Amino acid sequence: MLELAIGLILAGCAIGAGLALIAGIGPGIGEGSAVAKACEAIGRQPECKGSVTSTMIMGCAIAETTGLYGLVVGILLIFVAPNQFVNILLRAIGK
């Protein structure tokens, strides 16, 4: 019975980590779209290259934080959470 509970904890953490890493898709799509629009803007008005580029880089950096948060959550669910949850389970059953 204890092995089943530990297996469920590990499976839940693995599934959660996989779902957390899906957060990397959004920034990739958003940054690709931002770069495409910046290239269009520079193509239409080459004299605005500096301001368009700096604004695009700032926006891409902000968008990337979402992917990094997902990565951190995924790493925590893989390496930290299983041990914590198993310790909570063992304390709850008195072992």
Q: Which pLDDT score is estimated for 1? A: 83
Opening angle at CA 43, ends 37 and 49, nearest 5: 85
Amino acid (one-letter) located at 15: I
Each residue's pLDDT tens digit, 36-73: 999 999 999 999 999 999 999 998 998 889 889 999 99
pTM (predicted TM-score)? 0.75
Q: What DSSP character marks residue 95? A: -
Distance CA 53, CA 39 (A): 9
Distance CA 53, CA 57 (A): 6
